[in-house]
Amino acid sequence: MGRILDMLPQLLTCEPHNDIYPILDFLLDEVEIPYHDVQKSILRCPRLLVSSVENRLRPALCFLRELGFVAPHSLTCQTTLLLVSSVEDTLMPKVEFLMSLGFTRAEVSKMVLRSHGLLTYSVANNLVPKLDFFLNEMKGDVAELKRFPHFFSFSLEGRIKPRHAMLVRLGLSLPLREMLQVSDGGFESRLLEFQFSELDLHCQSSTDILPGSVKPRYSTNATPIASISTSATPITSISTSATPITSINTSVMPPVEESVTSLFASKELQDDNKPLWRFLTVIENNDAAGGNKLWRCNFCQKEVKSSYSRVRFHLLKICGQEVQVCPKVTDILLDDLNRICEGG
């Protein structure tokens, strides 16, 4: 009550029987708000108590019912705030703006019933700037706004622009609903899943170059990479015009055949829903400590302790661009592989 009186001090001088009771009767009898919800309506929009039934509330109710706020979509304690809006100055301009985009009256009705906030946003300061960005920068189709009118309820500077910029930078595209409705953490996780899913597809499409069928870039007389063993002829003796490989740092990189096998053929931790697992090995599973596990990166053999939801960020941080290169590891030179695993 103190908050309401701070907002509307004129209530202290109102005559309850003449000024307040008619409004309560209107909400109960005409709007048909349940008795136990009237208080919620007032708390959500105190201006109801100082609005004229004849000049403001009843005209707005008639307009909203014509727009479709009837039967299952009747006004509730959550939407009675629309009643304090002027039909001519607030409600009608929003409807006309949406119809100017090519939507029919029936389509506009469905949009505002799904997102009643459309009737409260400023046309000049909210709807127009967001529409301009959607059409000109995002190259969107207005038909998608009909499917997801909640687009206009999100902050242009705080959510729409930053997320669109991230998608453009990664060359990805998402429907508006998937782009905007999730939290920041969920959005970033979704982007990483997209990237790792793409890597997984690369892995699956590389079955023709899995161990046993590796085609080296050296001359046809060179020993195939996958068949090199510790007893084989030293790499430096391979006849080729390319710069010979002088050494392989085995302390940071497992044997090529084992490394390739762990990346492309391991079934131990493979999971269709978590393609990242093919790039990691669980060393220690400590579910009691918040689900954290000790992971080893199959690219560089470095270890990190984290939950699965966070280890994706660690993998990118540890390996950097190696994540994008390693799916093609069986088709690159040994010295390239050595340089990648050393972080060079």
Q: What is the pLDDT of residues 220-239, one digit of tens each?
A: 344 444 444 444 444 444 44
pLDDT over 90 (residue 62): yes
pLDDT at 28 over 80: yes
Per mean pLDDT, which range of 5-14, 197-206, 223-232 is the poorest? 223-232
Residue 27 reports pLDDT greater than 70? yes
Range of the domain at 272: 209-221+250-341
What is the average pLDDT value for the chain, to the nearest integer? 74
329 has pLDDT over 50: no
Where on the phi/psi map is residue 171: left (φ > 0), alpha (ψ -120 to 50), or beta? Answer: left
pLDDT number for residue 298: 67
129-167: b or e for each residue (b if 16 or more CB lie within 10 Å)? ebbebbeeebebeeeebbebbbbbbeeeeeebeebbeeb
Give the range with max mean pLDDT: 90-104, 231-245, 328-342: 90-104
Number of domains in the chain: 2
Structural domain contains residue 180? no
- Confirm if 38 and 83 have CB atoms less than 8 A apart: no
Question: Where is pLDDT greater, at 59 or 340?
Answer: 59
> Is the pLDDT score of 341 beyond 70?
no
Q: Is residue 196 part of a domain?
A: no
Residue 17 pLDDT > 80, yes or no? Answer: yes
Q: 99 pLDDT exceeds 90?
A: yes
Distance of CA 267 to the CA centre of its chain: 30
pLDDT at 300: 66
Half-sphere exposure of 292 (CA within 13 A, CB side): 7
pLDDT surpassing 90 at residue 76: yes
| Residue 49: per-residue pLDDT | 95
Q: For residue 278, what pLDDT is reported?
A: 55
- How confident is the model over 19-48, as a mean pLDDT? 96
pLDDT of residue 280: 64
Residue 135 lies in a domain: no
Q: Which of 236, 255, 254 shows the shortest CA–CA distance to 246?
A: 236
pLDDT digits (tens, 9 = 90+) for 153-184: 999 999 999 999 999 998 888 999 999 999 98
Mean pLDDT value of segment 270-284: 54
* Residue 125 predicted with pLDDT over 90: yes
Chosen domain end from 41, 66, 85? 85
Pair 177, 152: CB distance under 8 Å: no
Span of 20-29, 100-109, 120-129, 230-239 with lowest mean pLDDT: 230-239
Q: Residue 5 has what pLDDT?
A: 86
* Residue, of 234 and 63, whose pLDDT is higher: 63
Specify the range with the lowest mean pLDDT, choosing from 79-88, 293-302, 313-322, 332-341.
332-341
Domain stop point among 22, 57, 85:
85
Instruction: Give the full edge-to-edge strand order of the sheet including 280-286.
Output: 280-286, 292-297, 303-306
pTM: 0.57
pLDDT for 3 equals 85
Kindly report, residue by residue over 283-324, the tens digit of the pLDDT. Answer: 766 554 445 677 676 666 677 666 655 555 444 444 443 333
DSSP state of 281: E
Q: Which residues contact 129 (CB under 8 A, 6 or more apart)?
A: 156
Greater pLDDT, 268 or 145: 145
Does pLDDT of 265 surpass 70? no
The domain boundary, picked from 68, 85, 102, lies at: 85
**Given pLDDT bands bounded at 50, 70 and 90, which one contains residue 253?**
very low
Q: Give the pLDDT confidence score for residue 1 in this predicted structure.
A: 75
Structural domain includes residue 105: no
